[in-house]
Every structure is written in C-alpha cells, then in structure tokens.
Amino acid sequence: MAQIPQKKLRLVPLQIRNFWSAVSIARSGFGDETAMIVFSYLWYFWRNLRLPDFGLMARRQSMTLMSRRAPIALVDIVTTAIHGWDVCWLDLELLRDCPMSDLLTYLETWPLAHRLLLVRSHSPLHWPHDEARFCFEGKLPAPDEGGFYIYSSRSTPNGVTRLDRDRFISGKQNSLHTTCDFYLIERDGVPIGITGLYTAEFWPGIGWGGWGAINREAAFRQTIFEALRLTEELARVRDLQWFCIETSDAETYRLARKIYEYYGLELLIEITDFFASTDPWSKGENYLVYGKRLTV
C-alpha cells in the first residue's frame, strides 16, 4: 500500500492577527499551563515593541555572600516566572580563601525566601552526597566544553530578618537578557501547531525550545519530528551549541518524552520536586532537560 506523502510544514512568526489560533492550540496541548503560555506571548509582543522589560519574565541580581563580616563568595542570582519566583538559580564564583565548610553551612541556611536553591559552579566541587543536605548533582552543557555542575538544597521559606541582612550584600536587580521568538506551525496555510525558541545569557550557547505542541489530529510521528527539526534549525542558524527542551515527569508529557528520545535528544538533567505541588500531601513534579549538541 503506497504511503501518502507528508506535506511540508512551515513556521509563521506569531503576530497579533494569529494570536488566538496559537492560544487555541496551546489550550489543547497544555491545559492548565495555558495561562503561562499567554503570559509568554504577551511578553513577546511587549519586547517586540521595544518597551522596557522590568524583569517581567526573568530577573538577575549580583550578590556577595558574607560570613563573620567577610566575603566568602560572589554569586549571580536568577529567578524566572516560568520556573517559579521561589526557585533560585545561583551561579557561584568561589573566592580563593573560601573554606568549603563555610560555604556549605551558608547554603544550608540560605537567608532568602526561596523554596529551592540550585547552585552552579564552573568546575567540579566534591560536595558530600547527603540527600538531606544536597539532594541533586548533574550537568547542563557549557560552550567551553566544561559541564555546569549543579547542586540543589532545600531551604525553608521565611522572611529576611535583620540578622540575615548581615549575611549578604545585594547589588542592583535587573532583567535577565533574553531573546525569544514564537511561531505557528502551518501546513497548507492551516495552523496545526506552535513552537518557539529562546535564549538567556545565564545559560550561554543553549537554544531552548519553547511551548511546542501539535494538534491531536495532526500529531503523527513524522509531523512531530519535522516540527522539532524546524525548531532545532532556529538554534542552528543562531550558531548555538546546544538545542534543549525543558519538561517535567508529569504523566501528561509521557509520550512527549518518548518522542524526544526517539528524535535523538538525550536526558541531561533531572531535579526532584522542582515544580511545587498544590496538594500538600503529594510531591511536586521533577524538572527534566533533554538536549542535543549542535556543534562538533
């Protein structure tokens, strides 16, 4: 039996006139997350008008960590709307005279009100594998061939006291520099899916696939692979080193995760209980990153 040839897909930049088509596809593919997708789209339009960012989507702040009134480390702190403002990404630059024990103690009693603390170093740190203290270790790609070593620790959200203020010197907070583009996926002029690609200076060299979905009636494997290929090509033309996709271990995305693996994306990282649960009796969803190197 002869196969019916697949018609090629094309990407159409998201505009006000096709906004509701994109939202309709997002609603069928993402359900409860549609509100965040709409927020992302509105932020995208806001940026295209060259209006001030104000840190609506992501914020960055420099900070000096203090212990016994002496600096022990310099850090860059990033929080995002997508991950949740109570999740803190922390880029660590150790000072030469920083005792590791002091740093560990400091991170265990993190003075700011973050639910989850993710610490990145540009070289391996031989921290103890104690799940009660530092429950995760993994890597995200870096352009210089070195892995970003990431550790997470739980911290109890609380208010910042006068004593806590003696433990850090905060710099100016500003928006995190990002680029972002969203598209409708069309076949013969008919929208059948959505996709996007964004970059952030905190994760240099990585193109992140953003909010990709295909209508159920068009979601054949070959069509989904073609949509992924078109999104990957967006990263290639920007000369990025990696193409990555964020997701979770939710049952809703089980098939999507299988497709990423069949497509050739490798599971790079998994962070337990990254997404907070609204049910106090259940655990949160795990954060997963699938990725593929684009350069040799």
pLDDT tens by residue, 119-150: 877 665 555 555 555 655 567 776 565 566 67
Bridge partners of residue 178, in order along the sequence: 200
pLDDT in tens, 264-279: 999 988 888 888 776 6
pLDDT of residue 172: 77
pLDDT band of residue 1 (cuts 50, 70, 90) is: very low
Q: Which residues contact 249 (CB under 8 A, 6 or more apart)?
A: 257, 270, 285, 286, 288
> pLDDT higher for 239 or 113?
239
pLDDT at 274: 86
Question: Cα-flanking dihedrals φ and ψ of residue 257, to 5°?
Answer: -65, -40
Expressed in angstroms, the distance from the first to the final Cα of the chain is 40
Model confidence band, residue 5 (pLDDT cutoffs 50, 70, 90): very low
- Going by CATH, does the domain composed of 10-51+177-293 fall within 3.40.50.80? no
pLDDT tens by residue, 17-37: 999 999 999 999 898 899 999
Stretch 76-96: mean pLDDT: 84
CATH number listed for the domain at residues 58-175:
3.40.630
Domain boundaries, the chain: 10-51+177-293, 58-175
Please give the pLDDT value at position 2: 39
d(CA 77, CA 236): 28
pLDDT of residue 4: 40
Residue 156 confidence class, pLDDT cut points 50, 70, 90: low
Place of tokens 């990153």: 289
